[in-house]
Amino acid sequence: MPLDERIITEAIVDGYFAKFKSSLELDVAIVGGGPSGLTAARLLATEGFNVALFERKLSLGGGMWGGGMTYNVIVVQEESAHLLTDVGIPVARYKDNYFTADAVAATTTLASAACLAGVKVFNCMSVEDVVLREVNGIKRVTGIVINSSPVEMAGLHVDPVVLGSKFLIEATGHATEVLHTLVRKNDVKLNTPSGGIEGEQSMWADVAETNTVKNTREIFPGLYVAGMAANASFGSYRMGPIFGGMLLSGEKVAADIAAKLRG
């Protein structure tokens, strides 16, 4: 059968815009496709919620591809290993409480599992702002403002577009970008000790890993922080190349939001 380039174009446009249109009113929008965002996205989509994940880069995976310092092996602690094995990522026990996995296998499989669970992935798409509304007298995040990453990178003066979302997960890692934008542009008080972003502290893996999960919560009505962004928001430590806390944070934020969505 001869190939018609115009039909190829039509197939791309139809496929993409069907996905886009079904994302106009989301249950959950996730910003950032690192280990925490991917895990949260997969678990929420598995429960049947309308979930989309926005990733600035072309590839999903955030900081997990390179293990530690490009030595592409990841380490997780025992209590989080199920979040790798549940999706078929082989792990090997190392000493008592540690497990290792191939960083590339882990990254690609977490991404694949999220896609196959029904997450609508928009890669090459940056979230540049949020939508704020007053609901019952309380300001709340009700959507996201997105723009194509090449537009952002080239500094082109092109307006973004807007999608609605019942909940937003800030999973942008160390940068905590969405939250910084919210605080910079608006007179708002976060659910943190100072009411602002506390910032990240230096390396202390043991405390940081526990705190990542504790700090995974609703920081502003409608907006949850997960992964490294949770510690950067609440003023805890960095943990370096151990990824269990990221996975457990994704699991926690998914459970908390699912409970709220189920009412």
Ligand-binding annotation for 218, yes or no, is: no
Among 29, 33, 41, 147, binds ligand 48F (CB under 6 A): 33
237 binds ligand 48F (CB under 6 A): no
Residues 90-129 that bind ligand 48F (CB under 6 A): 126-127
Among 26, 43, 64, 106, binds ligand 48F (CB under 6 A): 64
67 binds ligand 48F (CB under 6 A): no
Provide, rounded to whole angstroms, the least separation between the CB of residue 47 and ligand 48F.
Answer: 20
254 binds ligand 48F (CB under 6 A): no
143 binds ligand 48F (CB under 6 A): no
246 binds ligand 48F (CB under 6 A): yes
Instruction: Return the number of the residue (48 or 240) whose C-beta is nearest ligand 48F.
Output: 240
Question: Among 19-27, 42-50, 60-68, 106-114, which window interacts with ligand 48F (CB under 6 A)?
Answer: 60-68
Among 120, 141, 143, 173, binds ligand 48F (CB under 6 A): 173
Using CA atoms, how far apart are residues 29 and 172, in angstroms rounded to an integer? Answer: 12
**Of 212, 3, 30, whose CA–CA distance to 114 is shortest?**
30
Binding-site residue ranges for Fe cation = 159, 174
Using CB under 6 A as the criterion, which residues of the chain lie in contact with ligand 48F when the complex forms?
31-37, 54-57, 62-64, 126-127, 171-173, 175, 177, 227-229, 238-239, 241-243, 246
Binding-site residue ranges = 36, 55-56, 63, 127, 157-159, 174, 228, 238
